[in-house]
Every structure is written in C-alpha cells, then in structure tokens.
Homo-oligomer: A and B are copies of this chain.
Amino acid sequence: MPDAQILVVDDEPDILSVLVYHLSREGYRVTTAVNGQGALTSAEAEQPDLIILDLMLPGMDGYEVLQRLRGAESTSSMPVILLTARREEDERVRGFEVGADDYITKPFSARELTLRVEALLRRSKAEPVSTSRRVTVGPVVLDREAHRVFSEGVEVDLTRLEYRLLEVMLERRGRVQTRRQLLQAVWDTNAAIETRTVDMHVARLRTKLGNAASLLETVRGIGYRFRALDK
C-alpha cells in the first residue's frame, strides 16, 4: 500500500474532502474528479492504482463511467470501489455486473474505507489474473491441461459444469459474481435457465470440495465469491 495512487470521484465537496483526508493520512497519493468526464480523463492519464467512484454524479452517472472504464483497453482492469447512499440490492447487483470490484455504502467509517482500499490493492497486486494451465488458490488446484481438480491434495471428480463453475470462480477469485454473471460465463450463451440453478451447482461443488468449501462464500443478496488468499 505504500505509495499507491487513488483517484476519487465525487461531486459533493463534503464527501470528497473526507475521502481525501482519510486516504492522504494513510499515505496514499490522491487525485480527484468531480464528474464523469473528468474521471475518465484522469483515469486514462494518471493510471491510478485504484478508483473510488460515487454512483450519483451530475451528467454521466457512476455506472456509465464504470462501463466506459471497462470498455477502454488501458483502464479495463483498474480496480474500482463504488460509493453509494443507496442500499438497494438492485443497485449493488448492477454495480457488480458492470464490473465493480467492491462497494461502500454511505455513511461509512474511516476504518471501513481504508480496510476495503487496502484489501483491494493487495488483491490486484497479488495476481494479474491471467490464464495459465494451472490455477492454485489455497488448497484448491485446478489443472486445465489434465482437466483435473485437487482439494487438499486429493483429486476430486467434478462434472463438466462443476468444473467450469469452479474454473470461473477461481479465475475471478476475490470478486463477487452474481448468479447472472455465472450463468453467462458457465452456461455459454444466454441460456434460459433459472438463476436458482446456480445455487444447486454451488452446493454440489461445495460438497465435493470438502473442507475447502468454506472458501466458496455466499454473498447474500448478490451471488458468490471465491475467497482470494494472498500469499
């Protein structure tokens, strides 16, 4: 975390200054933007290590900013924490679907802020999630070449969908995946499948993973997340 640069985007001066204050005190370099256009420009130009983005902005709202960030090559994998007053699940779901990495609801404590910032920075530094023929997360090993999976050293026998589901969850470890996202990633095209079916497969996968099942966490109201274990 030392010397990381953070872009804070918020149009309310009060909140902006609170954010800047806390983050600066923790030793981060902070830059700011007060609207969507400025956010995009700064993100592109300064390549910050993390962005904190308010959803409610004049003109272009947070979703659109996020969507555009994800669309551009140079910012597509930039860690983003969404900031919102709304507790609505729909909002959060939409946020994760558009590609948010984490979420903070107002009002928030300084401690919550820094914890989330640290966690996200650590995570994105840990692994430039890329595709290799073998993925290891804690006690879980997935070997793409052999198409085999081990949990705590023991081979586990997975069906095609279970394997695929695990593969996706491991690749996107640390990030919440909505049921819809999982459907899209695991079940090819927009299959006409109940989102509840995902739960079923998660359950089956968990029983087969044994003790490691606890790493596959439920995020109530949103979806699932495979815990990212930093080394």
Contact = CB atoms under 8 A, between A and B. Distances in A.
Given A105-B130, A160-B220, A225 B112 contact: no
B160 A175 contact: no
Interface stretch (A19-27, A51-59, A139-147): A139-147
Interface in A68-104: 73, 76, 85, 87, 89, 92, 96, 101-104
A71 B131 CA distance: 25
A176 interface: yes
Contacts of A131: 92, 103, 105
Contact of A112 (B130, B133, B144): B130
B128 A160 contact: no
A145 B130 contact: no
A144 B175 CA distance: 8
A229 interface: no
A144 B96 contact: yes
Nearest to A123: B133
Interface string A104-119: 1101110010001000
6 contacts: A102-B133, A104-B130, A112-B128, A145-B175, A147-B176, A147-B222
Top 3 nearest A-B pairs by Cβ distance? A160-B221, A147-B176, A103-B131
